[in-house]
Amino acid sequence: MMEVFRTFTPDFEKIHVDPQDCFSGDTEKLYYLMLCIPTHSGFNLVTLLCSFSLEHGSKNKAVLDLSTTSLTPKTCFCPGETVKGLAQGLAYNTFCRKLDLKGNNIRGAATEALGKMLQHNKCLISLCLEWNGMGMLDNSFAVFCDGLGSNTSLKALDLRNNQISHDSVAELAAALKRNVHLRSLDLRWNNCGLLGGRSLLEMLQSNKTISRLELAGNNIPSDILKSIETAVQNNADRQTIVDENQKRTQTMAKHIRDMEQDKKLQLNELLTTIDKQEDIMRKSQKVSTQHIGSLQMALDERKGAFNSLAAKLSMAETELTLSEQKVSDLNSVINRLKLEMQEMAVSHVNEIHKMKEDRATEELKFLKEISEGQDKNMQLQSKVDDLERKCHQQQEQIYDLKEQVTHLQSELTLKGSQFDERLAQEKLRQKEALRDMEQYKQKEIARIKQESEEMEKILRDRINKLESQRLDMEEEISRLKAMNVADKLNAEEQIASIKHRLKSEEEQRHVLLEEKIRVLQISRDELQSHCNQQTATITQLQHKNSNLQLEIEALHRQRDELNQELAQKSNYTMAEVEKVKVELTRCQNKLDQERATQAELRDKLASVDSQMSEQMLKYRKVVEEKEREIVLLEEKLKGRELELVRIREEEAQRVQALQSAILNYVGSKHGTSSR
């Protein structure tokens, strides 16, 4: 056991306790350690200390139910030092929620220690001190009351059977005036008396949080008990209303927080969408710049092709000059060469016309594509593939033209070699004809020079036209670039305007929400005042209802008395009728006897008959009068019953009015809460 306790040495050093003292039988330090060090490195120190106390034969043979939330050393009869140690441990404890010290003979210094514990403890919710003697000493109980008044966590306090006098109850009431957190107080079977009841009633006028107060067995008069019960009931109703208002405010705050989170999420989504659009715009701009660069490369390649063609033309011109010089030596060869050159020129002209037509068609295509690009700048990506395909075709055409030019060069070289051979063969024959053909040759040379100059002029004009077309194409490309830059700037300005508009709308929404919250707070205050007015009207109506119930009970009593009188009178009339019947039977018997025995007394019988008829008439009149009285009494009863019915209808109407008012009030509350 000592080895296990050595693992807690750092915790013991924090609270300035030697672990060896735990084995010296000092229960005060034992409880203090139990509550200050609940767990450490997977071991439960509370269970270890409990087992230690059982192994060493502690005098306190109580079963301790110790956990992270409750402590119940009940019926232990712990000494004062043990309770003081327990209170010292609980003063700064942060895990115990319930404490049950029932039947531990707590009094004097232990009571003061509990009061000091309540001053510092911030987590204890329920405290049971039943069957103790805390009220035997007023000074110690005053210290306990001071601690209770400064406590902010205790919700339920049980002080049954603690010999608390009226002076101690006055101290307790003064402390409870300062405590606004206690909800339940049990003071049954003490000695509160009249003065204690009055002090408790005075306390309830200022304390509006106690919703349960038990005072049975305290010799308090019934009227004070009733007033205390009404005050406690009012506190309970007020607490329920406050709880409902708190729940509603919490729900409203939660709803507002959810709305704010939704708005923030929507803003984040909008910002992400704007960023994505910006990225897409950037990518499209990059793609367009890449396509423009590819087009520029294609134009550069075409320029190189044109330059190569011009170089080839210059080479052809040089070859023509060489051929002219050679033709000066060979006139016959010149004619053939003229025919061949004419054929070559015609073919070159046709090819040039074809090239012009192809270039014109290509230029028209480019112009159409550029116009379509101006009109449909947003669809560049869909048309990029077509442009690339066309560029590929044009490159293939350029490659074909290059192949044709190389083929022509090879043919020209072959023909030059053939011409050299022919010239070598026909030099001898042409030397003789040269003299005759010099004049003709000079004329032909002049004519050929003129034709070549004309051809040079035509080719230079064509080259100038092509350069002008190239410059137009470059200007159009620069214009397209400027349009792309302008579109980009417009898109950025639109995005900035959208961001500014969204920020302004969000600020307006925040302002509207704040106004709604303010209106809800105002409506809540109005509802609170209306609720207080309704509670006052309800109490008045309850008082009126009780008065009306008393009046109804008095009317019921009067009706019962009238019913009893009617029953008595009906019994009296029935008895008199029976008496009359008996007398009539007797008289008839006498008459029969007189008829049988005395025939002479018929006159007397006639007189007796007249008397009997008169008596019968009298009796009938009496009976009729009684019946009239009965009818009058029945009419009175009917009138009273109608009055009772009318009173009940008025009471029902009042109840309906109260119900409708309550329903309207509840409906208005629900309406405001839904808003």
| pLDDT recorded at residue 70 | 62
| pLDDT recorded at residue 49 | 42
Closest CA to 1 of 39, 40, 41, 55: 55
24 or 142, greater pLDDT? 142
149 or 551, greater pLDDT? 149
| pLDDT recorded at residue 12 | 44
For the beta carbon of residue 419, count every other beta carbon within 10 angstroms.
19
For 611, the token pair is 């008397």
Q: How confident is the model at residue 199 (pLDDT cuts 50, 70, 90)?
A: very high
Least confidently predicted of 144-153, 188-197, 269-278:
269-278
| pLDDT recorded at residue 16 | 46
172-190 mean pLDDT: 92
What percentage of the chain exceeds 90 in pLDDT? 13
For the beta carbon of residue 448, count every other beta carbon within 10 angstroms.
18
For 333, residues 6+ apart whose C-beta sits below 8 A from its C-beta are: 326, 327, 419, 422, 423, 426, 430
Residue type, 607: S
420-434 mean pLDDT: 71
Q: How confident is the model at residue 56 (pLDDT cuts 50, 70, 90)?
A: very low
pLDDT beyond 80 at 421? no
547 or 37, greater pLDDT? 547
Alpha carbons 508 and 384: distance in angstroms, whole number: 45
| pLDDT recorded at residue 144 | 93
Output 558-566 pairs: Cβ under 8 A, ≥24 positions apart: 558/640, 559/637, 559/640, 559/641, 559/644, 562/633, 562/636, 562/637, 562/640, 563/637, 565/633, 566/630, 566/633, 566/637
Alpha carbons 545 and 539: distance in angstroms, whole number: 10
Contact 497, 326 (CB under 8 A): no
Least confidently predicted of 21-25, 245-249, 551-555, 579-583:
21-25
pLDDT beyond 70 at 671? no
Chain-wide mean pLDDT for the chain? Answer: 77
Query: In this structure, which topology does domain 2-263 adopt according to CATH?
Result: 3.80.10
| pLDDT recorded at residue 380 | 66
Alpha carbons 363 and 337: distance in angstroms, whole number: 36
Q: Which residues pair with 44 in a beta bridge?
A: 39
pLDDT beyond 70 at 334? no
| pLDDT recorded at residue 43 | 35
pLDDT beyond 60 at 22? no
Give 382-395 pLDDT, tens digit per residue: 666 776 777 677 67
509 or 230, greater pLDDT? 230
Residue type, 315: M
Give 306-332 pLDDT, tens digit per residue: 777 778 777 877 777 786 776 567 677
pTM of the complete model: 0.37
pLDDT beyond 90 at 173? yes
154 or 612, greater pLDDT? 154
| pLDDT recorded at residue 284 | 77
pLDDT beyond 90 at 548? no
Q: How confident is the model at residue 46 (pLDDT cuts 50, 70, 90)?
A: very low
Give 240-292 pLDDT, tens digit per residue: 998 888 898 888 889 888 888 888 888 788 888 888 878 887 887 788 778 77
Q: How confident is the model at residue 174 (pLDDT cuts 50, 70, 90)?
A: very high
Alpha carbons 52 and 2: distance in angstroms, whole number: 10
423-440 mean pLDDT: 71
Least confidently predicted of 33-47, 93-107, 120-134, 290-304:
33-47
Give 561-589 pLDDT, tens digit per residue: 887 887 787 788 777 778 877 877 787 77
| pLDDT recorded at residue 330 | 65
| Burial state string for 605-616 with b = 16 or more CB within 10 A and e = fewer than 16 | beeeeeebeeee
Half-sphere exposure of 79 (CA within 13 A, CB side): 8
> What sign does the dihedral 395-396-397-398 (CA atoms) show?
positive
Q: How confident is the model at residue 442 (pLDDT cuts 50, 70, 90)?
A: confident
Contact 155, 125 (CB under 8 A): yes
| pLDDT recorded at residue 45 | 42
Question: Where are the domains positioned within the chain?
Answer: 2-263, 526-674
pLDDT beyond 90 at 72? no
